[in-house]
Chain A
Amino acid sequence: MTRVHDMGGRFGDGPVSPEAEDAPVFAEDWHARALAVTLACGALGQWNIDTSRHARERLSPKDYTRFSYYEKWISGLADLLVEKGVLTRDDLEGKGAAGLHALAERALKAENVAAALAKGGPADRAGGPAPLFHPGQAVRTRIPGDNTLVAGGHTRLPQYAVGAQGYILRLHGTHVLPDSSAHGLGEAPEPLYAVRFHASTLWAHAEHPEDEVVLDLWQSYLEPL
């Protein structure tokens, strides 16, 4: 299975064009508005970060490819607002009901922005299964790499690392599993590891024999060797 956002290792994209260090944070005013509207809607509490990532990934491959970065954000947001029942399709067409929304009392106020951003949303959890792997241990990522709970669902195991042998570098703790959390199936926290892979096990033409790629991977993505 391939998914359009899972582009690590892809060929054909051409050179990277770095902007100057002092380039504006937002190249266009609407970029800033898209970011702010997205963060403010998140504060309504109708979804989590995994849900919102998945909403962008579910754009059709044609839309994902042709949309610029913040177009993906605002379009994913519109889709999510309708899917979660916050807005209707009529609302998006300007034909919806007038008046305050039932969730209006939860709207993020200016005076609460600093506290909300500073609070963040930690992903580590108490409990969950005990760690099965220790630093230095050889592991292999599972095949196939798809979400095992939902066909075509959200996962954070990139295709380029599926079925590859790597080595546990460190245990980060026990973190919410996006494959479950993105689909409203609960947080299902699991041990999360940084796993290092030799570039030469991932790529047929690695640039240097000593180069490595490290990925953060959940325990259920991994099998012992």
Chain B
Amino acid sequence: MPHDHSDHPHALLPPDPALRVKALETILTEKGLIDPAALEEIIDTYQNRIGPQNGARVVARAWSDPEFRAALLADADPVLAELGYYGRQGEHMVVVENTLQQHNMVVCTLCSCYPWPLLGIPPGWYKSDAYRARAVREPRKVLAEFGVTLPPETAVRVWDSTAEVRYLVLPMRPEGTESLGEDELAALVTRDSMIGTGLAKVPS
């Protein structure tokens, strides 16, 4: 098939990506190797049930409860497991805390590793060549493209997720939120703030 530049088996499938997926799905379903109902269940899980709302709850609790925060930063896995935030692509979690002295930011230069149980499926930009190529070399320029400018006294630490350890950024708690409860705080926690390409929202 001239469309593909290799003799890899995938070139035997239709070149259009939507048709390629459909063709493979049909072949596998006919052979009983995949169950269409299971596919729907997987999609529903990541479309509707597992997403950044999970991570936001963890952050809001860490902002509200110093003991929880200390335990989360010291050894996240048992703390998150107790909350039910364990599973595929979140088996080994490390939570890193942003401070005035240090801003943390997460990337996977080799593929697209991301903490699924806490943030869901990564957004397109996280998986883009531009982010993967540049986040490690010029994180401040990348941050500027997200509208974030750090003060010169803040060092940037970029975490390249090269193993099965997944990183969640604990963003700084915005000023003026002393009276807010966990639900209100969670609403200020954006997905990007937990990747480190954004900051938590300031209450209006």
Residue of B nearest to A5 (CB): B110
Q: Mark B77-116, 1 if CB is under 8 A from A, else 0.
A: 0000000001111111010000000000001011110000
User: Given the complex of chains A and B, what is the CA–CA distance between A175 and B161 in angstroms?
Assistant: 14
If A60-B5, A123-B92 touch, whether A110 touches B47 (CB-CB below 8 Å) is no
CB distance from B110 to the nearest CB of A (A): 6
* A16 & B131 in contact (Cβ 8 Å cutoff): yes
Task: State which of A37, A69, A92, A214 has its C-beta within 8 Å of the C-beta of B34.
Answer: A37
| B42 to A, closest residue via Cβ | A36
Q: Does B38 lie within 8 Å of A113, measured CB to CB?
A: yes
Are B27 and A91 closer than 8 Å at their CB atoms? yes
Which positions 38-96 of chain A face chain B at CB distance < 8 Å?
Answer: 39-41, 44, 49, 53, 56-57, 59-60, 62-63, 67-71, 74-79, 81-83, 86-87, 89, 91-94, 96
Are B8 and A60 in touch, CB under 8 angstroms? yes
B182 at the A interface (CB under 8 A): no
Among the interface residues B45, B92, B162, which one has the most CB atoms of the partner chain A within 10 A? B162
**Is residue A130 within 8 Å, beta carbon to beta carbon, of the partner chain?**
no
Q: With contacts A156-B110, A156-B163, A213-B160 known, is A69 near B42, CB below 8 A? A: no
Q: Is B124 an interface residue (CB 8 A)?
A: yes
Cα A118 to Cα B86 with chains together (Å):
6
Are A216 and B31 interface neighbours, CB within 8 A?
no
**Is B40 an interface residue when CB atoms closer than 8 A count as contact?**
yes
B99 to chain A minimum Cβ distance, whole angstroms, is 13
In the complex formed, the residue of B with least CB distance to A210 is: B155
B190 touches A107 (CB 8 A): no
A78 pairs with B13, CB closer than 8 A:
yes
**B159 contacts which chain A residues (CB < 8 A)?**
194, 213-214
Interface residues of B in 51-101 (CB under 8 A from A): 51-52, 86-92, 94
Contact of A16 with B130 in the complex, beta carbons under 8 Å? yes
Q: Given A18-B125, A202-B136, A216-B161, does the pair A78, B24 have CB atoms closer than 8 Å?
A: yes
- Say whether B121 contacts A110, CB under 8 Å: no
Check if A25 sits within 8 Å of B46, measured CB to CB.
yes
Contact A37 B39 (CB under 8 A): yes
Interface residues of A in 93-150 (CB under 8 A from B): 93-94, 96, 98-101, 103-104, 107-110, 112-114, 116-124
Of B33, B92, B158, B192, which contacts A124 at CB under 8 A?
B92
Q: Which residues of B contact A67 (CB under 8 A)?
A: 17
Indicate which residue in A40, A63, A117, A211 contacts B87 across the interface (CB closer than 8 Å). A117
Q: Which residues of chain B are within 8 angstroms of A162 by Cβ–Cβ distance?
A: none
| Residues 173-192 of chain B, each 1 if its beta carbon lies under 8 Å from chain A, else 0 | 00000000000000000111
Q: How far is the CB of B34 from chain A (nearest CB, A)?
A: 4
Give the interface centre of A37, A108, A158, A175 by most chain B CB atoms within 10 Å: A37
Query: Is B202 on the interface with A (CB-CB < 8 A)?
Result: no
Closest to B133 in A: A10
* Inter-subunit contact B24/A37 (CB<8 Å): yes
The answer to whether A30 touches B21 (Cβ under 8 A) is yes
The reply to whether A41 and B34 form a contact with Cβ atoms under 8 Å apart is yes
B140 proximity list for chain A (CB < 8 A): 207-208, 211
Other than A18-B197, A41-B33, A75-B20, give 20 A-B pairs with Cβ distance below 8 A. A8-B136, A25-B121, A26-B43, A32-B43, A33-B43, A69-B124, A70-B17, A71-B17, A76-B10, A79-B8, A91-B31, A92-B23, A108-B34, A112-B38, A113-B38, A118-B88, A120-B88, A207-B156, A208-B152, A215-B160
On B, residues with C-beta under 8 Å from A are 4-6, 8-10, 12-13, 17-18, 20-25, 27-28, 30-35, 37-43, 45-47, 51-52, 86-92, 94, 107, 109-112, 120-121, 123-125, 127-134, 136-142, 145-146, 152, 155-165, 190-192, 197
Residue contacts A-B, CB under 8 angstroms, 18 given: A5-B111, A15-B130, A16-B130, A21-B52, A21-B191, A30-B17, A34-B21, A35-B43, A39-B88, A41-B34, A71-B20, A75-B13, A101-B33, A109-B38, A117-B88, A207-B156, A208-B155, A213-B157
